[in-house]
Amino acid sequence: MITPGIKTKIIRIVNVFETGTPEGKYDALVIFPDGRNGSRQITYGRSQTTEQGNLRNLLERYIALNGMFAEDFRPYIPKVGSVPLVNDKAFKELLKKSAREDALMRQAQDETFEILYFQPALHFFNAEQFALPLSLLVIYDSYIHSGAVPAFLRSRFPERTPLRGGDEKAWIKAYTKTRQHWLATHSKKILHPTVYRTKTFLNEMDKGNWMLDLPVTTQGVTIP
């Protein structure tokens, strides 16, 4: 059973992956060359949404909440995701300032990551009849980092999900190893170092920490 405490721990672990702290850095902003055709793009917030991904959705949610800086963001909405804003200093400062000074931006981020990432991950988890907390952590991280549990990765190993009569632990371990190999050999070299995520999961599997009742240490941070 996924209790509120387990959900919080899962989110805190992924926050460490994304911004180095269990609480998450809502004002975090970095530029990575991981956009379409290797283009540079803004990556922002507690769980690092991207300029070419769901940043527009996040800002629309913030404006709908009537945030302190809503009117400042409004002119940017048609541009986000279509016109590169990586060199727009005013826009980048506005993103950081809003997260630091307005609780509604932090709320908008929490709601966005819940609706667009955690709930779809939980749906996959339940639909495929998984049950263990570590399994949900692996699945949620895949949604945050890769947008889904990609079918092309699932097709690379023979294990079946519990819904299809398979063993949960065997499937999760096989998926994690497959995803690790994919990240480590990806044509986008920026993804290669991110195998610390899958290495963390495999380490917890080796410890037998399927219930996530033991502390999890990653990136030098321990989540009790």
Digit-coded pLDDT (tens) for 111-139 = 999 999 999 999 999 999 999 999 999 99
Quickly list H helices, 69-193: 70-73, 89-101, 103-113, 119-127, 133-146, 151-154, 168-184
How many Cα neighbours within 13 Å face the side chain of 104?
12
Q: Which CATH architecture has domain 4-223?
A: Up-down Bundle (1.20)
pLDDT, residue 201, reads: 98
Taking the whole predicted model, whether its pTM rises above 0.85 is answered as yes
CA distance 128 to 206: 23
Residues 6+ apart with CB under 8 A from 195: 180, 183, 184
At 47 the pLDDT is: 87
As beta bridge partners, residue 133 has none
The tokens for 75 are 């002119």
Alpha-carbon gap, residue 118 to 183, rounded angstroms: 21
User: What does the alpha-carbon distance between residue 71 and residue 50 come to, in Å, rounded to a whole number?
Assistant: 21
Q: What angle do CA 118, 120, 123 make, to 5 degrees?
A: 110
- 215 SS3 class: coil
| Mean pLDDT, residues 190-215 | 96
Mean residue pLDDT across the chain: 96
pLDDT reported for residue 189: 86
Distances (CA, A) of 224 to 43, 134, 209: 28, 14, 12
d(C-alpha 80, C-alpha 126), whole Å: 34
Mean pLDDT of 206-215: 98
Parallel, antiparallel, or unpaired: how do β-strands 216-218 and 221-223 relate? Answer: antiparallel
Q: What are phi and psi of 41, to 5 degrees?
A: -150, 155
The tens digit of pLDDT for each residue in 35-47 reads 888 899 999 999 8
As a whole-number percent, the residues of the chain with pLDDT over 90 amount to 91
Q: How confident is the model at residue 151 (pLDDT cuts 50, 70, 90)?
A: very high
pLDDT digits (tens, 9 = 90+) for 92-117: 999 999 999 999 999 999 999 999 99
For 132-146, letters b (16+ CB in 10 Å) and e give: bbbbbbbbbbbbbbe
Q: What whole-number distance in Å separates Cα of residue 205 and Cα of residue 198?
A: 11
Please report the pLDDT score of residue 187 as a whole number.
86
